Structure 1
Amino acid sequence: MEEGKPISNIDDELRQILAEFMVEVIKLEELVEVGRKFLVRFQQALEFLRRPSIYESSDLVKSIAKANETKRVNAYVQAGCLNAYDSTLSVGQLNTSLSDLHDCVTKSKSIIDELKNLMDKAGNALCMTSDDQLETEIQASEAIGSEKLDGVGCASYMAVIYSMVKQDYVMQEKIVSSLSFKSSSGELESYCLMWSLRPFINDDIIRQALKQVR
């Protein structure tokens, strides 16, 4: 902080940084939802390829196939009663979804880096060197309620929110890195659930921060 600089100016500067910070958080929230859709699409495509053969699971289909032993029917049975076009489409969907997920994670990483830069900018403005020191101020910031936050309060929200979204990003990155055509149904179900639940995110804190910049 520059000697003699009015506190109110520092507070205004930190509120502006918080506003920029929350714009990036909103972008990240939108990417999380986009990524969730890509993950579900990957799951659906892989499960389609794994679905049981109609021929093997149905006595009726077996009898129909036997009664109509044409070249077309025989070829279909040999293929496991799966439409070749649908199978090809699903494989393409798997590859596209995986590529889209990697792209989504890359974009999220860029936003996470920008959030870190903004948080550091806020810390430097307050002449603070410890993230822990910022986080201890969150209770005091919440007590302000609907009033405007001071500089320390703004920095506190940034520190806490950054910690949450960084952990959320790391979880998503690990999920995407572990995906493959060999991923089990149980794994995919758990990944989709965790992506949707976002266990590291406290929505109330994000909403409180957004109220301060509206």
Structure 2
Amino acid sequence: MESNKEARRIFSDFMTRIAKFEELATLGSGLLGSFRNQLELLQRNPLDKRSKLVGDIIKANETQRMKAYLKDRCLTVPAGVQIMTKLNMCQQGFRDHLDKAKSLLDELECLVDNMISTLKMANERETSNGCENHSGDELAEEDAELVHLKKHEAFDYAAMMGIIYNMLKQDYTMQEKIVSSLKLSSPLEQLDSYCKMWSLRPYINDDVMHQAWRLIR
């Protein structure tokens, strides 16, 4: 069936874009981790050496480890500028990420629509050919059964595409909400939760994804 070949081609294109979306999600996870790490450096508070007790302890224990710790905890102006530059780069990276992910989602939606149109045309063609009128002929019955099997396969593609598209749409919405909530004052505990959620991708069913990849092998 020509329509089945077209359905398989559409599904293959769909999965190609899925692979790109997955790659983007991984890159976005790394970007979020970088943002979290830079923000931790910015938010770190140095020891309050104005405290007499703290000052006395530092003077009495000027070891290399203590000196290194104090130097590391004191954020100099150049270091602060460097951190802010990296944070701004992360923010730009997030905007680029969301733009690319949204573009892929739009392409996936178009492919879903194309698959639906292909199935509709195939169904109309089958009806117009009147395959059911040849049920008395043994060869025609075999042809009709083959058509039914091919049609069922195409519907499997369409159903899988719909399920995956909805999962990715929810995944994108989660990423968008995380990015929109990022601030320089964001608590590190909150960022840790964001990183975990982005990495876990709770809306993505791995079993469904594996099944989809098996369909094109």
TM-score of the aligned structures, taking structure 2 as reference length: 0.74
Aligned-partner Cα distance in 1 for 2:28–2:179: 10
Shift of 1:178: 1.2
Match in the other structure for 2:168: 165
Q: CA deviation at 1:163?
A: 0.6
Secondary structure of the structure 2 residue equivalent to 1:150? helix
Following the alignment from structure 2 to structure 1, what is the Cα–Cα distance between the partners of residues 168 and 194? Answer: 17
Q: Tell whether 2:53 aligns with 1:50.
A: no
Q: Which amino acid aligns with 1:188?
A: L
Shift of 1:46: 0.7
2:208 corresponds, among 202, 205, 208, to 205
Whether 1:93 aligns to 2:86 is: yes
Structure 1: gaps of 5 or more residues: 1-7, 68-75, 129-146
Measured after TM superposition, the shift of residue 125 of structure 1 is: 1.0
Deviation at 1:21, TM superposition (A): 0.0
**Structure 2 unaligned spans of 5+:** 63-69, 122-148
Distance 1:202 1:61, change over 3 A: farther
Measure the CA separation in 1 of the matches of 2:57 and 2:24: 47
Q: Deviations over 1:113-160 (max 9, x none)?
A: 0000000000111129xxxxxxxxxxxxxxxxxx99711001011000
Amino acid across the alignment from 2:3: I
Question: Partners in 1 of 2:17 and 2:38 — Cα distance?
Answer: 32
Distance 1:94 1:62 in 2: 35
Equivalent position amino acid for 1:127 in 2: K
Q: How does 1:1-214 map to 2 (within 5 A)?
A: 8-56=1-49, 59=54, 63-64=58-59, 81-127=74-120, 150-214=153-217
Report the AA paired with residue 118 of structure 1: L
Q: Deviation of residue 207 (structure 1)? A: 1.6
* Bigger Cα displacement from structure 2, 189-198 vs 82-91: 82-91
One-letter code aligned to 1:91: M
1:42-67 Cα shifts (integer Å, max 9, x gaps): 111111111120454993687449x9
Higher relative contact order (CA 8 A, sep 6+): 2
* Identity over aligned pairs, percent: 39
For 1:179 and 1:89, the matched residues in 2 are separated by 19
Per the alignment, do residues 61 and 33 of structure 1 end up closer, same or farther by CA in structure 2, a change over 3 Å counting?
A: farther
Deviations 1:153-187 (Å, cap 9, x if unpaired)? 01011000001001000110111111111212222
More divergent stretch after superposition (198-207 vs 83-92) = 83-92
Asked if the contact 1:35–1:101 (Cα under 8 Å) also holds between the matched residues in 2, the reply is yes
Q: Note the alpha carbon deviations across 1:21-54, whole angstroms, 9 max, x for none.
A: 0000000000001111111111111111111204
Tell me if the contact between 1:42 and 1:94 (Cα under 8 Å) persists in the aligned partners: yes
| Cα deviation code 1:76-123 (max 9, x no counterpart) | 99xx82233222211111111011011101100000000000000001
CA 1:61–1:158 in structure 2 vs 1: closer, same or farther (change >3 Å)?
farther
Q: Identify if the C-alpha distance between structure 1 residues 61 and 181 changes in structure 2 by more than 3 Å, giving closer, same or farther.
A: farther
CA spacing shift, 1:26–1:85, aligned 2, 3 Å: same
More helix by share: 2
